[in-house]
């Protein structure tokens, strides 16, 4: 390679290397793939020399045809489907959820074979959707972006899913929210299978100050940015997972390790509202999004966000927005961008405190 290798690097060829096989879905997310594989590349060798000393990887495919990412950049598979036991992990890189068949039937058969051989599977970005569709996430907790949480739950209602954490890594399954969390998941694998020094080398070259753990919370608008407290952010995201009901304020407090009184004090201090009011605001935010982006009957929208009848729903909606659900749906001139959530601007009114 034209340079003097460290004793660790010289010994590595005789040692087991971390080997990852990638499966790219149609319209896959380029950043998730690039950050994951670059973390491996930089951990594999000293500084930025890119030797495949401590790690190796292949892009697997049923054909050698180029796979087009969501941004249009194409990547060619480097290997046919081989015995998955040649790899420590098989990582599925997902992308746009609007693609009807993100992978072909031969790929599904390969992923099922991988699971049957006991090789761990990773879902990067929306790769967890691909694995769940193949029946390979049942009994495992999927980590998805908050942006895709509701769609995952609608498609796979009997699956465990959480939109608050950056990634989840179990013995046989792993998943990440996408974006920069792909580097965090890759760094965790490097630390587990290679060394902390290799992890540190990769992150320093990538200009990442430190790897975040699977217990760190996703950075998202509007919840986390506006409330500088991880317990408030976690509680709000848990609320979003239970908009239709099923969790009490006591249960919410317990989920973040607080008593109900402690949670109420924390919300009053950080969010300037009670947990109950925050919960109601989130429900109404979600209802507003559904009204603006779907044709669901108003009673169904009300039930989706935990209201038992349209009269109570309409009363609360009018008190918050100054208009009724029917009016906001019918008046295109009054529509705001669906992604602009109430927490970006809400201050509790006197009537709702």
Provide the pLDDT for residue 181: 95
Burial class (CB in 10 A: 0-12, 13-18, 19+), 42: buried
- pTM of the shown model: 0.65
103 within 8 A of 26, measured Cβ to Cβ? yes
Provide the pLDDT for residue 220: 57
Rounded Cα distance, 234 and 218, in Å: 9
- Listed by start position, the domains of the chain span 7-205, 220-353
Q: Does domain 7-205 have CATH number 3.40.50.880?
A: yes
Provide the pLDDT for residue 336: 43
Provide the pLDDT for residue 226: 56
Provide the pLDDT for residue 14: 40
Provide the pLDDT for residue 25: 98
Count of residues for the chain? 353
Per-residue CA distances from 24 to 29, 82, 91, 121, 253 (Å):
9, 15, 8, 13, 40
Crossing angle of the two packed helices 275-293 and 310-321, in degrees rounded to 10? 100
Mean pLDDT of successive 10-residue segments in the chain (353 residues)? 40 67 98 97 89 96 97 98 98 96 97 98 98 97 88 92 90 95 97 95 92 79 59 85 88 92 93 91 87 86 92 93 89 44 38 35
Provide the pLDDT for residue 15: 54
Provide the pLDDT for residue 265: 95
Q: How far is C-alpha 156 from the chain's CA centre? A: 15
Provide the pLDDT for residue 3: 41
Provide the pLDDT for residue 50: 87
Provide the pLDDT for residue 215: 83
Provide the pLDDT for residue 123: 98
Architecture of domain 220-353: Orthogonal Bundle (1.10)
Provide the pLDDT for residue 291: 87
Output the DSSP codes for 174-217. Answer: EEE-STTHHHHHHHHHHHHHT-HHHHHHHHHHTT-SSPPPTTSB
Burial class (CB in 10 A: 0-12, 13-18, 19+), 217: middle
Rounded Cα distance, 122 and 175, in Å: 5
Provide the pLDDT for residue 147: 80
């Amino acid at each position: 390679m034209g340079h003097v290798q460290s004793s660790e690097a010289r010994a590595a060829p005789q040692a087991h290397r971390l080997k990852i096989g990638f499966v790219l879905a149609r319209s896959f997310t380029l950043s998730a793939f690039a950050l994951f594989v670059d973390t491996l590349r930089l951990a594999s060798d000293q500084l930025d020399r890119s030797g495949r000393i401590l790690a190796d990887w292949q892009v697997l495919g049923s054909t050698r045809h180029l796979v087009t990412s969501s941004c249009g950049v194409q990547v060619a598979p480097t290997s046919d489907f081989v015995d998955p036991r040649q790899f420590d992990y098989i990582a599925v890189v997902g992308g746009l959820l609007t693609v009807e068949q993100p992978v072909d039937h031969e790929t599904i058969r390969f992923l099922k074979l991988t699971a049957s051989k006991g090789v761990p599977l990773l879902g990067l970005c929306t790769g967890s959707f691909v694995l769940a569709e193949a029946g390979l996430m049942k009994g495992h907790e999927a980590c998805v972006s908050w942006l895709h949480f509701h769609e995952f739950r609608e498609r796979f209602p009997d699956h465990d899913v959480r939109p608050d954490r950056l990634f989840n890594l179990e013995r046989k399954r792993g998943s990440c929210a996408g974006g920069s969390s792909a580097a965090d998941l890759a760094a965790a694998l490097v630390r587990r299978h290679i060394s902390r020094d290799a992890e540190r080398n990769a992150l320093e070259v990538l200009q990442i100050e430190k790897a975040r753990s699977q217990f760190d919370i996703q950075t998202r608008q509007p919840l986390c940015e506006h409330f500088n407290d991880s317990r408030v952010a976690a509680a709000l995201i848990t609320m979003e997972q239970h908009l239709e009901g099923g969790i009490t304020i006591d249960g919410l407090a317990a989920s973040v390790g607080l008593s109900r009184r402690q949670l109420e004090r924390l919300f009053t201090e950080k969010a300037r509202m009670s947990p109950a009011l925050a919960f109601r605001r989130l429900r109404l935010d979600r209802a507003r999004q559904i009204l603006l982006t779907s044709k669901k009957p108003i009673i169904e929208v009300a039930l989706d966000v935990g209201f038992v009848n349209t009269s109570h729903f309409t009363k609360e909606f009018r008190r918050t927005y100054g208009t009724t659900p029917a009016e906001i749906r019918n008046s295109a001139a009054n529509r705001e961008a669906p992604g602009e959530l109430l927490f970006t601007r809400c201050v509790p009114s006197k009537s709702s405190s």
